[in-house]
Amino acid sequence: MQDLVGIAYCSKPTGFSFDQVDEILRVSQRNNDRDALTGALIYDNTTFLQWLEGGEEEIRRVFGRISRDPRHAEIKLLTVRKLEDRWFPDWSMTAAVTQDQALRGLKLVPHLSLSRFDPHEWSDEDVTCFMTALSDYLTRRPAPKSERVLERVTPRKPSSDPVASLDRHLGRRI
């Protein structure tokens, strides 16, 4: 059995209309069902933030395909985690739009706001807190109360090759 892995990446859409998001979600849901992947896509007019979880080989293959997709620029791998359980087990791919006023006003994590959505600057801890809080929110469980506000960590310098960065995190080099 493969290890369960979760990754988060962000990118800037290029040559893309946000009218296409529904079609991307439909195709992603079909493919993710086939490949036993789950996750969440958060988007606004300038940025994608995606969490993918599943078997290591499937994650590698899908992230490689995303990294070659000309609709994505400035791809930054934000976090890679070995998981014991899925964070979005009920969704082959769920989506959240930052323009959604109900979601936009939420403070899922005390120091992050969807009204200033820029995950390229988020730390590993920021991504982890945001995704777990979003999972709790979307499954209608109350988000856990933070006992402390995580301090901001200086973001890592993005790798010029996001696939090589994923391989380094997962312990394999290309």
Give pLDDT, residue 97.
58
CA distances, 124 to each of 71, 111, 120, 140 (Å)? 24, 14, 11, 24
Fold of 4-150: Alpha-Beta Plaits (3.30.70)
What is the C-alpha to C-alpha distance for residues 124 and 10, in angstroms, rounded to an integer?
12
Contacts of 172 (CB under 8 A, 6+ apart): none
Contacts 24+ apart (CB under 8 A), 142-145: 143/108
Residue 49: burial class (beta carbons within 10 Å; 0-12, 13-18, 19+): buried
pTM for this prediction: 0.73
Give pLDDT, residue 146.
33
pLDDT tens digits, one per residue of 39-95: 888 887 788 889 999 999 999 999 999 899 888 889 999 999 999 999 888 777 666
Give pLDDT, residue 134.
80
Q: 49 vs 24, which has greater pLDDT? A: 49
What is the C-alpha to C-alpha distance for residues 100 and 149, in angstroms, rounded to an integer?
25
Domain spans in the chain, listed from the N-terminal domain onward: 4-150
Q: Are 66 and 7 in contact (CB under 8 A)?
A: no
133 — pLDDT class (breaks 50, 70, 90):
confident
Average pLDDT for residues 132-143, to the nearest whole number?
A: 67
Number of Cβ within a 10 Å radius of residue 81: 18
The fraction of the chain above a pLDDT of 70, given in percent, is: 64
Q: Are 48 and 72 in contact (CB under 8 A)?
A: yes
Contacts of 79 (CB under 8 A, 6+ apart): 6, 7, 8, 124, 127, 128
